């Protein structure tokens, strides 16, 4: 059940057919854990928090890149404080491992996978991000937030997917697979 | 006899349909919602948005006090 201030704050999202009141409640109930830091990761956190998704693993003092003119996260949105286990992990920096529902940000794009996806396939897909050209951090970060929101709403799931920046545009590519799944390479 | 009633005569866009959408979501499939509304914007947009969301417009009547009464049937497609 949404509070009145949440109905007012998220009204425009509630209007979206794929969200509605029940979807907005899901976004509020499914925090995201953030591992590592990057400009694109900070943008993703800003979009997530603005949409009502709580985050953990980031500074609460507003030190995100370009975020809300330095307004602390919890002041910007009281729903930003994570008070329950995360449903997904956003890997925003290099060298971080994660399991479950995962979105991995690279310089050239992002990969994401559902909780039952093969971790080796996910790593293989993430390695492919290095082949592309660096993407704009705002484009990449906002896309990562959108992917996480779609995962929270149950609109995307399953095997690893890759979105890469190439020739000035985003492309959805077939994800490389690990040796255990050669039929999908 | 409607299953629920909602008054959005004091709301402005986009909260007019937000209130209706939330009310419809809270009703079971096939239930009837009566909406009291006022002004050109909700008169045009609320029935249209409800139809776009898959609900059914049963009637829309102008009342003597300058408001209108919209009657909707909630439809929730199987997930």
Q: What is the pLDDT of residue A161?
A: 86
Q: What is the pLDDT of residue A185?
A: 42
| Edge-to-edge order in the sheet of strand A169-173 | A55-56, A32-35, A88-91, A101-105, A109-113, A161-166, A169-173
Structural Rg of chain B based on CA atoms = 12
- For residue range A7-58, what is the model confidence (pLDDT) as tens digits? 999 999 999 999 999 999 999 999 999 999 888 898 899 899 999 999 988 8
pTM of the model: 0.86
The ipTM value here is: 0.88
B41 has a chain A CB within 8 A of its CB: no
Closest partner residue to B15 among A11, A21, A22, by Cβ?
A11
Burial class (CB in 10 A: 0-12, 13-18, 19+), A7: middle
User: What positions of B carry a catalytic annotation?
Assistant: 13
Length of chain B: 79
Using a CB-CB cut-off of 8 Å, the residues of chain B touching A12 are 14
Please say if the pLDDT value at position A118 is more than 90: no
CA contacts within 13 A on the Cβ side of A151: 30
A60 has a chain B CB within 8 A of its CB: no
Phi and psi torsions of B72, nearest 5°:
-120, 145
B15 has a chain A CB within 8 A of its CB: yes
């Amino acid at each position: 059940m949404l509070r009145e201030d949440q109905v007012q704050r998220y009204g425009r999202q509630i209007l979206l057919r794929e969200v509605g009141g029940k979807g907005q409640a899901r976004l509020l109930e499914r925090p995201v854990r953030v591992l590592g830091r990057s400009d694109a990761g900070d943008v993703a956190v800003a979009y997530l928090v603005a949409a009502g998704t709580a985050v953990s693993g980031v500074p609460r003092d507003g030190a995100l890149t370009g975020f809300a003119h330095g307004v602390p996260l919890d002041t910007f949105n009281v729903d930003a404080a994570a008070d329950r286990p995360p449903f997904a992990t956003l890997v925003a920096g290099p060298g971080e491992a994660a399991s479950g529902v995962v979105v991995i940000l690279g310089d050239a794009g992002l990969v994401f996978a559902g909780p039952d996806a093969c971790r080796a396939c996910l790593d293989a897909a993430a390695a492919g991000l290095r082949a592309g050209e660096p993407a704009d951090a705002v484009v990449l970060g906002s896309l990562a937030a959108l992917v996480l929101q779609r995962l929270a709403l149950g609109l995307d799931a399953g095997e690893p997917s890759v979105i890469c920046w190439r020739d000035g545009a985003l492309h959805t590519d077939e994800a490389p697979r690990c040796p255990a799944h050669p039929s999908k390479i | 006899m409607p299953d629920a009633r909602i008054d959005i005569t004091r709301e402005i866009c986009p909260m007019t349909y937000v209130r209706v959408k939330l009310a419809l979501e809270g009703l079971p499939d096939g239930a009837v919602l009566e909406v009291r509304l006022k002004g050109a914007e909700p008169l045009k947009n609320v029935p249209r948005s409800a139809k776009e969301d898959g609900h059914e417009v049963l009637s829309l009547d102008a009342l003597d006090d300058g408001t209108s009464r919209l009657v909707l049937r909630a439809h929730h497609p199987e997930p």
